[in-house]
């Protein structure tokens, strides 16, 4: 039985209606996701079970991005499991709750168990999981100084700064342009505090994704002939409490959470 190497071989067996019930908007995208190990064939309800079985045997599972994230989380969990929680809690600005670390992230508690597992009412994904575990391991307990600096100036941020601006700041600017009231409502719901700074932004808000890692979000509304602007600044102390890569993931996780909430709560259920 030959191995399937081309998504077209999977696509040929699909209904080709692009109905989206598999969680992917089009049959071709679904075929590609199956081949990359991101989706299972059974997610398409229109695929004949016998055909599904035959195709599945010909798909060789390769390591996916999800596998890499899982491996990173397991490595971090093992390191966190070696920590003395009663010693690290004050440094992290966390509380001890029945032997677990309770870390407040945007006003919600995330519990880290002694084995490094995470428990929360909120949806957990690697964008939140990985930075929180890094925070447990790296935080030196440095208090924020109120000196705001661009992400790119933090140690180790050079290789991530383009990503931070394209995948975090720019999408948040677009969301704020399209759903200004909803975005600010969400920010306030997550504990954002307005601040007045000399930079002259129309809106400057401080949020606390981690107890000792504040983000300052500055947003300039569009004006006639000028596009809007948005930047996310970090306290200079951030590098003492977490690394640049984890800050990037954290910001990305927040934007992703906003996208999901806006999809659910915007009047037309659309992002743009
Ligand atoms: S559920 Fe099946 S038919 Fe519908 S888009 Fe997905 S793959 Fe195509």
Q: What is the CATH number of the domain that holds 47?
A: 1.10.15.40
Q: What is the pLDDT of residues 247-259, one digit of tens each?
A: 999 999 899 888 8
Note whether 118 and 165 are same-domain residues.
Answer: no
Note whether 93 and 32 are same-domain residues.
Answer: no
Average pLDDT, the chain: 90
Note whether 124 and 167 are same-domain residues.
Answer: no
Q: What is the mean pLDDT of residues 27-45?
A: 88
Note whether 76 and 134 are same-domain residues.
Answer: yes
Tell me the pLDDT band of 120, cut-offs 50, 70 and 90: confident
**Best CA proximity match to 192, nearest among 182, 203, 207:** 207
Residues of the chain with pLDDT > 90, as a percent, come to: 68
Give the ligand 1 atom nearest the CA of 20. Answer: 5
Residue 14 CB–ligand 1 contact under 6 Å = yes
* Domain of 50, in residue numbers: 7-57
From 138, 159, 179, the end of a domain falls on 138
Note whether 48 and 77 are same-domain residues.
Answer: no
Give the residue, out of 8, 12, 46, 48, with the most ligand 1 atoms within 8 A of its beta carbon, to mutate for a pocket test: 46
Residue 171: per-residue pLDDT: 95
Residue 19 CB–ligand 1 contact under 6 Å = yes
Note whether 42 and 80 are same-domain residues.
Answer: no
Lowest mean pLDDT among 172-186, 223-237, 253-267: 253-267
Residue 269: per-residue pLDDT: 67
Note whether 169 and 246 are same-domain residues.
Answer: yes
Q: What is the pLDDT of residues 5-19, one digit of tens each?
A: 888 999 999 999 998
What pTM does this model have? 0.74
- The domain spanning residue 207 has which CATH number? 3.30.310
- Residue 86 counted as domain residue: yes
Note whether 153 and 179 are same-domain residues.
Answer: yes
- Residue 99 counted as domain residue: yes
> What span, in angstroms and rounded, lies between the C-alpha atoms of 23 and 80?
34
Lowest mean pLDDT among 53-67, 182-196, 227-241: 53-67
Residue 62: per-residue pLDDT: 66
Residue 268 has pLDDT above 90, yes or no: no
- Contact of 127 with 252, CB cutoff 8 Å: yes
Residue 99: per-residue pLDDT: 93
- Residue 272 counted as domain residue: no
Residue 40 CB–ligand 1 contact under 6 Å = no
Number of domains in the chain: 3
Tell me the pLDDT band of 262, cut-offs 50, 70 and 90: confident
- Residue 203 counted as domain residue: yes
Query: What secondary structure letter does DSSP report for 270?
Result: -
Q: What is the pLDDT of residues 82-95, one digit of tens each?
A: 999 999 999 999 99
Tokens of 173: 């600017």
Residue 20 CB–ligand 1 contact under 6 Å = yes
Residue 17 CB–ligand 1 contact under 6 Å = yes
CA of 208 to the centre of ligand 1 (A): 40
Name the more confident of 33 and 232.
232
Distances from the Cα of 229 to the Cα of 204, 221, 240, 243, angstroms: 12, 7, 28, 26
Give the ligand 1 atom nearest the CA of 27. Answer: 8
From 110, 138, 166, the end of a domain falls on 138
**Best CA proximity match to 111, nearest among 128, 253, 189:** 128
> What span, in angstroms and rounded, lies between the C-alpha atoms of 44 and 23?
9
Residue 66 has pLDDT above 80, yes or no: no
Note whether 154 and 240 are same-domain residues.
Answer: yes
CA of 18 to the centre of ligand 1 (A): 5
């Amino acid at each position: 039985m030959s191995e399937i190497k081309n998504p077209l071989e999977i696509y040929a067996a699909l209904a080709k209606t692009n109905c989206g019930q598999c969680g992917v908007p089009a049959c071709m995208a679904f075929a590609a996701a199956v081949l990359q190990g991101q989706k299972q064939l059974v997610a398409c309800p229109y695929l004949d079970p016998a055909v599904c079985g035959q195709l599945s045997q010909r798909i060789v599972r390769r390591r996916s991005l999800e596998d890499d994230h899982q491996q990173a989380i397991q490595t971090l969990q093992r390191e966190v499991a070696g920590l003395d929680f009663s010693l690290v809690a004050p440094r992290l600005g966390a509380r001890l709750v029945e032997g677990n670390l309770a870390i407040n992230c945007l006003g919600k508690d995330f519990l880290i168990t002694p084995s490094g597992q995470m428990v929360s009412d909120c949806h957990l994904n690697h964008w939140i999981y990985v930075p929180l575990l890094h925070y447990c391991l790296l935080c030196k307990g440095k208090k924020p100084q109120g000196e705001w600096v661009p992400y790119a100036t933090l140690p180790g941020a050079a290789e991530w700064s383009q990503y931070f601006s394209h995948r975090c700041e720019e999408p948040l600017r677009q969301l704020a342009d399209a759903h200004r009231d909803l975005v600010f409502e969400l920010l306030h719901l997550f504990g954002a505090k307005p601040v007045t700074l000399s930079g002259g932004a129309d809106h400057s808000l401080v949020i606390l994704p981690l107890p000792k890692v504040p983000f300052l979000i500055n947003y300039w509304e569009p004006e006639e002939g000028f596009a809007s602007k948005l930047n996310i600044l970090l306290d200079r102390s951030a590098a003492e409490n977490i690394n640049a890569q984890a800050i990037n993931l954290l910001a990305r996780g927040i934007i992703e959470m906003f996208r999901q909430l806006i999809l659910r709560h915007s009047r037309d259920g659309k992002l743009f």
